[in-house]
Amino acid sequence: MNPSPSKNYAPLAVLALVLYAGFLIAVAKTLPDMLTLAAIVPLLLALGFLVIETRRRTSLQLQMLQAETEKDYRQLEALAGIYPLVDIQGPLPPMRGWAASPDFLSILVGRILAARPAVVVELGSGVSTLITCYALKKLGGGMVYSLDHSDEYAEATRRQLAAHGLEDYARVIHAPLVDTTVNGETREWYDSAKLEEIPRIDLVVVDGPPNRAGNMPRYPTLPLLSEKLNPGALILLDDGARESETSMVERWKKEFAISDSQFFPTEKGAYLLRFEGQSPDG
């Protein structure tokens, strides 16, 4: 439930009452006998309008509060479901906002435990790196290569991994954003030279680069990683509700052989794709 915002007419009603008070003063000076009738009828109408407007706005605020409460509950529910699955030890970094939301992380955990990937590549490090490592630890092995354009965030993720004792399951790579040309189009993407050390991939988690200027900034991901993807590799994409990501997925589906595509109505929207290779028409 997501009520749309509406205009607040209460200030207009107050202004009308002030103007009407001036009108009453004028009537009192010129036509004293008409003062009572002129005052009561419009005043009752104005008061009625204020009551209706106040009740309407209160109802709208309650609906918005209910919608936010339901969203928060769904995230808490998803987070509570993650803990017993991967036996998290210690507090996790903040979620939602720029970071991944619990409902997306729940999908991530489920796919890792089901698909048992040996190599995971993650674009954008953070709480998702920790969750991925916990899932790999639960499986008894695997490695996540996490690319981050920010050296500061990369170092923060390394410290979090150390605090949770997960260093053996992750390698956080500082990969600055550089101009990258793919199919004649230039976008800022991670320094592709950093990809050389990554072996063949079973799962890609796409939560970067940041969508600063739109225009599908994450589009180069599949063209640049396709040669390293194993057939049947999974691609899990966050922020799938954005127009940029939706357009990007449609373009990927035309250029590559995608055997399965699912959309999940998470807080930010998520796509899960199964990669089979280059499209016959690509």
The pLDDT tens digits for 116-126 are 999 999 999 99
Express each pLDDT in 234-270 by its tens digit: 999 999 999 999 999 999 999 999 998 999 999 999 9
Q: Is 238 in contact with 208 (CB distance < 8 Å)?
A: no
pLDDT in tens, 107-159: 999 999 999 999 999 999 999 999 999 999 999 999 999 999 999 999 999 99
Higher pLDDT, 276 or 95: 276
User: Burial, 108: exposed, middle or buried (Cβ in 10 Å; 0-12, 13-18, 19+)?
Assistant: buried
Q: Which pLDDT tens digit goes with each residue over 50-90? A: 777 777 777 778 777 776 777 777 888 888 889 888 888 88
Over residues 35-55, mean pLDDT: 65
| Least-confidence region, from 2-11, 13-22, 60-69 | 2-11
Q: How many C-beta neighbours within 10 Å does residue 87 have?
A: 9
Each as own residue / partner, the long-range contacts of residues 84-87 (CB below 8 Å, 24 or more positions apart, any chain) are 85/109, 85/110, 85/113, 85/135, 85/138, 86/131, 86/134, 86/135, 86/137, 86/138, 87/134, 87/138
Q: Which pLDDT does position 224 carry in this prediction?
A: 96
Model pTM? 0.75
Token pair recorded at residue 97 = 């906002």
Between CA 6 and CA 212 the distance in angstroms is 29
pLDDT tens per residue across span 159-201 = 999 999 999 999 999 999 999 999 999 999 999 999 998 999 9
